[in-house]
Amino acid sequence: MKAGKQTTLRSRAAVSGIGVHSGLPVTLTLYPADAGTGVVFIRRVDGRRQREIRANARSVTATELATVLGDASGPGVSTIEHIMAALCGLGVDNVIVELDGPEAPIMDGSAAPFVQAIDEAGIVSLPAARRYTKVLKPIRVAKGDAYGELRPYDRGFRVEVEIEFDHPLIGRQALAIEVGPATFRREIARARTFGFLRDVGKLWGAGYALGASLENTLVVSEDRVLNPEGLRFCGRAHPGRLPVRARRPQAQSRGAHRADRRSLRLDHRGRAQAAPARTRRAAGRDRGAGLGAGPVLSRAQARHIPGRMSA
């Protein structure tokens, strides 16, 4: 992510859909915000403001099947991956995200509808220097043969990702990409949620994937994709609160949500965070952390499944 001026939206934007896990209807509205605001989620219930939660690593309260933001009073908003990816990928620093439901809408299962809404609203510069996270030394979390790692990288934000599933249609896949607005729109934004048919019963029984469908989730059975018309050949990105100047090699076997959170928490101990004119070093320790099993995948009897990004 390049240093420069902070940004926000030129005007309001909104999208409506259902939550992939709750199955409840929800409208997500984006509002311009002043410099230094960051990304702030506001939850409304019956038209009244109920919760206000800043989107940063310290606000993450759960990562199983979705990333959940909350505070001392409990969970606040869930399944924020696609809207956060869109804001980060397009370089939007300051925005108010208002929801009238418990989780962000799944839309078509990708970040593309959020990118479209942001593009229609427009992005403008603000008269304040952009703050960013600069990684000063390697930071790694691991469990078994899965790991996530941040490395110093002075030319922006590069992502190197590898996934491996014991499934003939997925197997091992890798992506290396310099992430910026152009590459995010072209290579990443349209990546979709996918799920395994074999896990749908378990997910429903646990109260998950109640809003998933063949329209918003790729469904993988033992030998085929049940809705191949929805395949898109692209990658996946997941952001933090501040723009990152780093190289991020990441080899993971499932469980990316938790690894993302742990990497960001470790980053607060091993990076410098400052306006471009001034850098502050923070001593860091490389502390081991677990990667979750994450959502395994599912289908829908014509209608339900879980969340994860496909490549």
Is the pLDDT confidence value at 298 over 80? no
Within 10 angstroms of residue 218's Cβ, the number of other Cβ atoms is 24
Q: What confidence tier does 308 reach under pLDDT thresholds 50, 70, 90?
A: very low
| Mean pLDDT of the 128-141 span | 91
Looking at the domain covering 132-274, what would its CATH class be? Answer: alpha beta
For residue 287, pLDDT beyond 60: no
What pLDDT, on a 0 to 100 scale, did the predictor assign at position 273? 34
* pLDDT class of 258 with cuts at 50, 70, 90: low
- Residue 84: CB atoms within 10 Å: 23
pLDDT at 132: 81
- Rounded to 10 degrees, the C-alpha dihedral 109/115/118/120 comes to -110
Does domain 5-129 sit in CATH 3.30.230.20? yes
Check residue 133 and give its pLDDT. Answer: 83
pLDDT of residue 48: 73
pLDDT, residue 280, reads: 30
Q: What is the pLDDT of residue 185?
A: 95
Domain limits, the chain: 5-129, 132-274
pLDDT at 198 (0 to 100): 92
Q: Does residue 243 surpass a pLDDT of 60?
A: no
Is the pLDDT at 297 greater than 60? The verdict is: no
| Percent of the chain whose predicted confidence (pLDDT) is above 90 | 49
**Among 88-92, 119-123, 164-168, whose mean pLDDT is lowest?**
164-168
What's the gap between Cα 160 and its chain centre?
A: 16
- For residue 252, what pLDDT is reported? 45
Which whole number is the average pLDDT over 146-166?
90
Lowest mean pLDDT among 97-106, 227-236, 261-270, 271-280: 271-280
Q: Which residue has the higher pLDDT, 247 or 103?
A: 103
Please give the structure tokens belonging to residue 64. Answer: 């199983």
How high is the mean pLDDT of the chain? Answer: 78
Average pLDDT over residues 74-97: 93
Is 13 or 58 the better-scoring residue by pLDDT? 13
> pLDDT confidence of 45, banded at 50, 70, 90?
confident
- Name the pTM for this structure: 0.76
What does the pLDDT average to over 5-15? 97
Q: How confident is the model at residue 208 (pLDDT cuts 50, 70, 90)?
A: confident
Per-position DSSP letters for the chain, written without gaps between them: ---SEEEEESS-EEEEEE-TTT--EEEEEEEE--TT--EEEEEEETTEEEEEEE-SGGGEEE-SSS-EEEETTEEEEE--HHHHHHHHHHT---EEEEESSSB---TTSSSHHHHHHHHHH-EEEEEEEPPEEEE-S-EEEEETTEEEEEEE-TTSEEEEEEEEESSTTTEEEEEEEE-SHHHIIIIITT--BEEEGGGHHHHHHTT--TT--TTTSEEE-SSSBS-GGG----------SS-EEEEEEEEESS-HHHHHHHHHHHHTTSEEEE-TT-----------------------SSS-----B--
